């Protein structure tokens, strides 16, 4: 076939349109969702957290997380008046069944929910030798179960301890930021179940998302900023003793 | 041209490399999934597979489409911003088939204390009770209606707050 100038002129725009769709990317299960239009994160409003454990239970119910393993969990901090560098931290069963009464009196006491920070420069995805874990184009750190070897490099690399090896499949598991929900226009299970609004899903690419106003008006911090992971889980009024 | 007199063995080695290289490229094309590298150094289809998981929590919008009466009741009380499934649990199956799948009615003596049992680590402004002193083990809904929990004048007052 001779490729004439006329053919070329017809082909080029078609190729450009096709390439645009390749770049945008659309998970087949959710036809109205375009990955390139989102950049997901989460806001944790610490003064609102009451340590009820609803998020932990919701996460387990939504994602079939095995008993004794956690994609999200709640820690209770007790910072004594005399030793702010060494807080007492407990998290009985991840906070799934609530917290017993504190033994320590006085000091500073508060709850800190933890989950995958969906870092924009995540250490865990960099160490995977087979390309089984990756940052999706919309900013969610995911694991491809069929590709994972279970080598545990990523479990060790995560500075936040957010990964584990599933006892049955022996592959890496972690919070998916309820990817199956957010691509359908729902919020995550933990945010849905949080009774006080301490957890809020945030779409940083959506100019109308309330996260932008919140970040401007509050002193917000991420965990371990010195690791330069560019975490996208923002903690409002985070205490300096939180590790 | 003595240097190239015995060149045939060089060609044999070259042929082995060419065949080996072609075999590598061919086998690799067969084994590497088509979508690998679509977005980066991973299998692009994995994203759609993860997104295809079924949902268990239906989301408060789905509840409010039918239960408008409860929504109205909640608006008058402090629990207005508490999503339905925060207490009622995952109800996607109920949304799919409201007739045959019914949410279980729970024991308020267990449910309410998950949030409202006094604990020093809870925010100071959050309403908390020591349940043993507060109600002597009576179910909370003896006095409080969960969808609008404040006790209005005229209703029975079982608790001290």
CA trace torsion A119, A56, A95, B102 (10° rounding): 170
CA distance B114 to chain A (A): 5
* CB spacing of A29 vs B48 below 8 angstroms: yes
Question: Could you tell me where in chain A the CATH 3.30.70.20 domains are found?
Answer: 37-120+177-236, 123-173
pLDDT tens digit sequence for B18-62: 999 999 999 999 999 999 999 999 999 999 999 999 999 999 999
Q: Is the pLDDT of residue B157 over 50?
A: no
CA distance B68 to chain A (A): 19
Which residue would you say has higher pLDDT here, A102 or A71? A71
In this structure, is residue B160 part of a structural domain?
A: no
Q: What does the mean pLDDT of chain A come to? A: 91
- Confidence at residue B107, expressed as pLDDT on a 0 to 100 scale: 84
- Confidence at residue A28, expressed as pLDDT on a 0 to 100 scale: 54
pLDDT tens digit sequence for B136-154: 878 888 889 999 998 875 5
Coil, strand, or helix at residue A72? strand
Pairing of strands A199-203, A40-45: antiparallel
**From the list B36, B39, B83, which residue is nearest A193 (CB)?**
B83
Q: What does the mean pLDDT of chain B come to? A: 88
CATH architecture, range A123-173: 2-Layer Sandwich (3.30)
* CB spacing of B57 vs A98 below 8 angstroms: no
Which residue would you say has higher pLDDT here, B6 or A121? A121
Report, as an integer, the average pLDDT of A92-111: 88
Q: Is the pLDDT of residue A104 over 80?
A: no
Q: Which of A145, A18, A137 is nearest to B39 (CA)?
A: A137
- Confidence at residue B1, expressed as pLDDT on a 0 to 100 scale: 58
Give A143's contacts (C-beta < 8 A, 6+ positions apart).
A132, A133, A154, A171, A172, A173, A174, A176
Based on the fold, state whether residues B73 and B46 are members of the same structural domain. no
* CB spacing of B86 vs A144 below 8 angstroms: no
Instruction: Give A197's pLDDT tier (boundaries 50, 70, 90).
Output: very high
Count up the domains in chain B and report the number: 3
Instruction: Give A27's pLDDT tier (boundaries 50, 70, 90).
Output: low
Q: Is the pLDDT of residue A23 over 70?
A: no
In this structure, is residue B62 part of a structural domain?
A: yes
* CB spacing of B114 vs A98 below 8 angstroms: yes
- Confidence at residue A25, expressed as pLDDT on a 0 to 100 scale: 59
pLDDT tens digit sequence for A45-84: 999 999 999 999 999 999 999 999 999 999 999 999 888 8
In this structure, is residue B161 part of a structural domain?
A: no
Q: Which residues of A touch B95 (CB under 8 A)?
A: none
One DSSP character per residue, B111-155 reads HHHHHHB--TTS-TTS--B-HHHHHTT--GGGT-BTTB----TTS
CATH fold group of domain A37-120+177-236: Alpha-Beta Plaits (3.30.70)
Pick the range with the lowest mean pLDDT from A14-23, A123-132, B89-98: A14-23
Q: Which of A77, A186, A242 to mutate to test the interface with B (most CBs of B within 10 A)?
A: A186
pLDDT tens digit sequence for A207-243: 999 999 999 999 999 999 999 999 999 999 999 999 8
Q: Which residues of A touch B44 (CB under 8 A)?
A: 25
What is the C-alpha to C-alpha distance for residues B76 and B73, in angstroms, rounded to an integer? 6
Report, as an integer, the average pLDDT of B95-108: 88
**Domain extent at residue B77:** 58-101
In this structure, is residue B86 part of a structural domain?
A: yes
What is the C-alpha to C-alpha distance for residues A58 and A64, in angstroms, rounded to an integer? 10
* CB spacing of A180 vs B55 below 8 angstroms: yes
Q: Is the pLDDT of residue B160 over 70?
A: no
Token digits of residue A32: 């109205």
Report, as an integer, the average pLDDT of A4-12: 77
Q: Which residues of A touch B56 (CB under 8 A)?
A: 61-62, 189
- Confidence at residue A24, expressed as pLDDT on a 0 to 100 scale: 60
What whole-number percentage of chain B has pLDDT above 70?
Answer: 93
Report, as an integer, the average pLDDT of A126-134: 96
What is the C-alpha to C-alpha distance for residues A3 and A190, in angstroms, rounded to an integer? 56
CA distance B51 to chain A (A): 4
Q: Is the pLDDT of residue A26 over 70?
A: no
What DSSP element (H or E) covers A40? strand A40-45
Pairing of strands A233-236, A40-45: parallel
Q: Which residues of B touch A79 (CB under 8 A)?
A: none
Q: Is the pLDDT of residue A30 over 80?
A: no
The ipTM estimated for the assembled molecules is 0.83
Based on the fold, state whether residues B110 and B124 are members of the same structural domain. yes
One DSSP character per residue, A185-220 reads T---HHHHH-SSS-EEEEETT-TT-THHHHHHHS-E
In this structure, is residue B126 part of a structural domain?
A: yes
Based on the fold, state whether residues B110 and B70 are members of the same structural domain. no
Based on the fold, state whether residues B110 and B97 are members of the same structural domain. no
Q: Which residues of B touch A77 (CB under 8 A)?
A: 121
Q: Is the pLDDT of residue A16 over 80?
A: no
One DSSP character per residue, B76-115 reads TSGGGGS-HHHHH---HHHHH-TTT--PPP--HHHHHHHH
Q: How many residues are given for chain B? A: 161
Q: How many residues are given for chain A? A: 243
Q: Which residues of B touch A189 (CB under 8 A)?
A: 56-57, 90
- Confidence at residue B158, expressed as pLDDT on a 0 to 100 scale: 44
The burial class, CB within 10 Å (0-12 / 13-18 / 19+), for B43 is buried
The burial class, CB within 10 Å (0-12 / 13-18 / 19+), for A79 is buried
What is the C-alpha to C-alpha distance for residues B110 and B89, in angstroms, rounded to an integer? 14
What sign for the dihedral angle of Cα A32, A38, A41, A45?
A: negative
In this structure, is residue B36 part of a structural domain?
A: yes
CA distance A108 to chain B (A): 8
What is the C-alpha to C-alpha distance for residues B36 and A131, in angstroms, rounded to an integer? 9
* CB spacing of B121 vs A110 below 8 angstroms: yes
Instruction: Give B161's pLDDT tier (boundaries 50, 70, 90).
Output: very low
What is the C-alpha to C-alpha distance for residues B41 and B21, in angstroms, rounded to an integer? 22
């Amino acid at each position: 076939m001779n490729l004439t100038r006329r053919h070329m002129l017809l082909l080029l725009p078609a190729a450009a349109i096709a390439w645009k769709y390749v770049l945008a990317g659309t998970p087949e299960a959710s036809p109205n969702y375009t990955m390139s239009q989102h950049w997901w994160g989460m806001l944790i409003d610490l003064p609102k957290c009451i340590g009820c454990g609803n998020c932990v239970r919701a996460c387990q119910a939504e994602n079939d997380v095995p008993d004794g393993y956690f994609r999200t969990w709640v820690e209770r901090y007790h910072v004594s008046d005399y030793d702010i560098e060494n807080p007492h931290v407990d998290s009985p069963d991840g906070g799934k069944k609530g917290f017993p009464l504190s033994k320590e009196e006085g000091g500073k006491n508060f709850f800190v929910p933890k989950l995958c920070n969906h870092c924009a420069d995540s250490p865990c995805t960099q160490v995977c030798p087979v390309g089984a874990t990756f940052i999706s184009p919309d900013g969610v750190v995911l694991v491809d179960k069929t590709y994972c070897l279970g080598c545990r490099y990523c479990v060790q690399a995560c500075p936040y301890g957010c990964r584990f090896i599933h006892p049955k499949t022996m592959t890496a598991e972690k919070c998916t930021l309820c990817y199956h929900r957010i691509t359908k226009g729902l919020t995550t299970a933990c945010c849905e179940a949080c009774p006080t609004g301490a957890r809020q899903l945030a779409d940083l690419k959506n100019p109308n998302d309330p996260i932008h106003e919140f970040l401007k008006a509050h002193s917000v911090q991420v965990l371990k900023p010195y690791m330069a992971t560019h975490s996208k889980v923002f903690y409002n009024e985070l205490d300096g003793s939180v590790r | 041209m003595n240097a190239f007199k015995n060149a045939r063995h060089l060609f044999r080695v070259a042929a082995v490399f060419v065949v080996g290289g072609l075999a590598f490229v061919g086998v690799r094309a067969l084994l590497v999934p088509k979508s690998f590298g679509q977005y980066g150094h991973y299998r692009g289809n994995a994203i759609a597979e993860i997104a295809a998981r079924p949902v268990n929590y239906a989301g408060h919008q789905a509840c409010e489409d039918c239960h408008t009466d409860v929504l109205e009741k909640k608006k008058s009380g402090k629990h207005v911003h508490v999503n339905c499934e925060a207490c009622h649990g995952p109800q996607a199956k109920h949304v799919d088939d409201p007739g045959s799948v019914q949410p279980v009615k729970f024991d308020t003596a267990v449910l309410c204390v998950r949030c409202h049992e006094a604990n020093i680590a809870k925010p100071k402004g959050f309403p908390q009770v020591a349940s043993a002193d507060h109600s002597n083990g009576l179910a909370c809904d003896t006095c409080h209606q969960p969808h609008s929990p404040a006790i209005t004048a005229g209703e029975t007052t079982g608790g001290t707050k």
